[in-house]
Every structure is written in C-alpha cells, then in structure tokens.
Amino acid sequence: MPAPPVIARPGKESPLAHPTLLDRGVREIRRTDRGFDPARFIGYAAMTFRDVETARMARDADRLRDRLTPEMYADLLAFCEALRSTGRSLRFDDVEVTAQATEAWQDGDRDYLTVYVAGSMLGHTVEDATGKVLAGSETTPIPVEDFLTFTRPAGLNFWMLSIIQGSRELRGKSSGADRDHGVEPSGTI
C-alpha cells in the first residue's frame, strides 16, 4: 500500500520540498560559518545600500573603503571624482527599500551572497554653482531594483560589497542626462 501524500499546511513548506539554490548555498557557507543567517544579513545589505547612496551624495567613497572590495571602491571613488570635477551633486531622500537574499554560494575559498534590494527614493542631480536640477526630480520617487553581491574569504570573515547591478542608471550611473551634464561615471556605481 502506497504512503499517503504529504500535504503541507498553508504557510508551511512541504517536508519533501526540494532545497533551492539559495538553500544549498547557505548550507555551503554554514560549513565554515555555522551561525550564518541570511535573514539577519539582509538588514546589513539594506544598510549598505543606503550607505553607498549616502557616499555618492557626499561624493566621499572613503567612508566605505573597508566595506567594499578594491574594485568596487575604485568604481565609487571614480564616480565621486567625476561628480566633483564637473560641479555636480546627487541628492537622495526618502529612501524606502526592502531586501531579500536571492543567491548564496561558495567558489573556492570565497563565500558569495546576492541580495535583491527594491523600493523607491527621491533622487536628482544638481549643478553645484546654481542648485539647478539637471536630472531626476525633487518630488517624484524613482524605483529601486538592484542586486548587491557581497563576498568574503570563507568562514568568519567580514562581508564586502563587490557588485551592484540593476536600476542604478536611473540614479546617475549611466543616464544620458548625467552624461549630457558632464558626469561620466564608471563601473558598476
């Protein structure tokens, strides 16, 4: 006689459900960091997102140097220098985002975790000399949909932001409006 089917209660995952790639990656990471909790990590990821936006607005990459990979730091530094050299500033306000872990894996001796950050914020580019808004809006929120990938040496080590992918072109990465006003950001910032 066959076993009766397992029926999961609403809100509960079936005990026979297959682990996701995220689950497998978290298991790999936990082999060297037993206490790793992706649910707690997303708070750090959302904070890092806000801190990167604050650094871009202040045109000051140094405040994040120890939380970015060298490549990411170089990209943020170049972006800030481009703004400064062209007399432009970014303004952000009302940053409302949520975060969710989407991928985790180990590659050799490194851990990786990607977090999806979504929401909205007010953002615009201004000319420093006049305060004139050159791109964006002071009143209309822009969508945020970014993937932030963090890395670290496997084990109990500090996570560093290595890649930002997504809607950043809406906020100054490569929008034609910013290029038209002399801001030529580089890399993934």
> Are 189 and 56 in contact, with CB atoms under 8 Å apart?
yes
State the pTM of this model. 0.79
pLDDT at 15 (0 to 100): 52
> b/e map of 19-41 (b: 16 or more CB within 10 Å)?
eeebeebbebbeeeeeebebeeb
pLDDT at 6 (0 to 100): 40
pLDDT at 17 (0 to 100): 58
pLDDT at 181 (0 to 100): 31
Distance CA 159, CA 4 (A): 45
CA distances from 160 to 75, 94, 146, 151 (A): 14, 25, 16, 5
Distance CA 182, CA 186 (A): 13
| Tens of pLDDT, residues 140-183 | 999 999 999 999 999 999 999 999 998 654 344 433 333 333 33
pLDDT at 78 (0 to 100): 95
| Tens of pLDDT, residues 83-131 | 999 999 999 999 999 999 999 999 999 999 999 999 999 999 999 999 9
Q: What is the largest CA-CA distance in the chain?
A: 82
| Confidence band of 35 (pLDDT split at 50, 70, 90) | very high
Query: For residue 99, what are its two tokens?
Result: 């975060």
